[in-house]
Structure 1
Amino acid sequence: MSKALFLYSSREGQTKKIFQYIDKHLADFECDVIDLHTVGDVDFSTYDKILVGASIRYGHLNKKLYQFIENNLKQLESTKVAFFCVNLTARKEDQGKDTPEGSAYIKTFLKKSPWKPELIGVFAGALYYPRYNWFDKMMIKFIMSMTGGETDTTKEVEYTNWEKVALFADKFKEL
């Protein structure tokens, strides 16, 4: 059985939820799912493939992702590794915001990161208004009002396109 390492950077849990979906989709893989923020040293040689996923908050990926890349660049470049980004802008599939070519966040990531993954995915996240603190709730509501999104702070809305996640999982399997 092939072995995969899933490293996630998530704020409210949607990135981890996407990993759990991919794990079920890759039935012929044994998958270890680890929080990128707490992972120590990783021996990449014990895995056939690595998948890194991170969410955007207020326009940025978590700094710990970049630190992880810096500390593990050599291993990332010598292993079958893919990356995906989760953000609310990707809900605009009709505008191509859910593609690496159309995602401003991926463009920024590729400029800032010395690592250039061979497979990149972009998935829409979820709005969990009731779970946010007051400040985050108001800021996200403001951003969503500017971008034509949901502004009812009593709602939780999942924008993730699970079919697209399944297609990405298939591509990851073929790496």
Structure 2
Amino acid sequence: MEQVLLLHSSTDGQTIKILNYIKEELGADCQCTMQDLNVLPTIDWQQYDRVLIGASVRYGHLNKKLYQFIETNLEALNQHKVAFFCVNLTARKEGKNTPETSAYMKKFHAKSPWQPKLQAVFAGALRYPRYKWFDRVMIQLIMRITGGETDTSKEVEYTDWQLVSRFSTEFKQF
């Protein structure tokens, strides 16, 4: 049975939801372990056949813990089968939802010494009722500027699950 490590840097849970979906897509022949990247775990890389890192964008940035993890584990990341995806609300728009067209992936590539061979960008979810007041107001302002949903009573999931499914297949064959 293949051993797969799923690492997440999630703010509101959509990245974890996507990883759980991928876990289901990988099927019974994969034993998956999920860990929070934000606690900077120590990884026994030899224990895993492949690793998937999912990270969310908040206020235009990936979590600094992601970059710390990359710096600490750069050699292992380059030597093992490790894929990466980022989750953000901008990816809800066509033309901003691929590694080549996403501004956040471009920032990631410029900032990170690790350049994953397999990567993806997924649209996240808007969960206004769950946000604290400050986050709700700031995200509403950002959505107003970018032409998105501004009704703070709504929750909207923008994730394209067919795209996630295709990526899952690529990851399994990676």
TM-score (norm: length of structure 2): 0.98
SS at match of 1:51: strand
Letter in 2 for 1:105: Y
Q: CA deviation at 1:85?
A: 0.3
Q: CA deviation at 1:41?
A: 1.1
Structure 1 runs of 4+ off > 2 angstroms? none
Q: CA deviation at 1:39?
A: 4.2
Root mean square deviation of aligned Cα = 0.6
CA contact (8 A) 2:129 2:153 kept: yes
> Match for residue 71 of structure 2?
70
Q: Distance in 2 between matches of 1:114 and 1:40?
A: 19
Q: CA deviation at 1:40?
A: 2.4
Q: Distance in 2 between matches of 1:121 and 1:31?
A: 20
Letter in 2 for 1:43: D
Unaligned runs of 5+ in 2: none
> Match for residue 17 of structure 1?
17
Q: Distance in 2 between matches of 1:38 and 1:101?
A: 29
Within-5 A mapping of 1:1-175: 1-27=1-27, 28-93=29-94, 96-175=95-174
Letter in 1 for 2:172: K
**Residue identity (%):** 61
Letter in 2 for 1:53: G
CA contact (8 A) 2:83 2:119 kept: yes
SS at match of 2:98: coil
SS at match of 2:38: coil
Unaligned runs of 5+ in 1: none
Task: String of CA shifts for 1:88-107, please: whole Å, max 9, x gaps.
Answer: 000002xx111001100000
Q: Distance in 1 between matches of 2:42 and 2:161?
A: 31
TM-score (norm: length of structure 1): 0.97
SS at match of 2:76: helix
Q: Distance in 2 between matches of 1:135 and 1:37?
A: 22
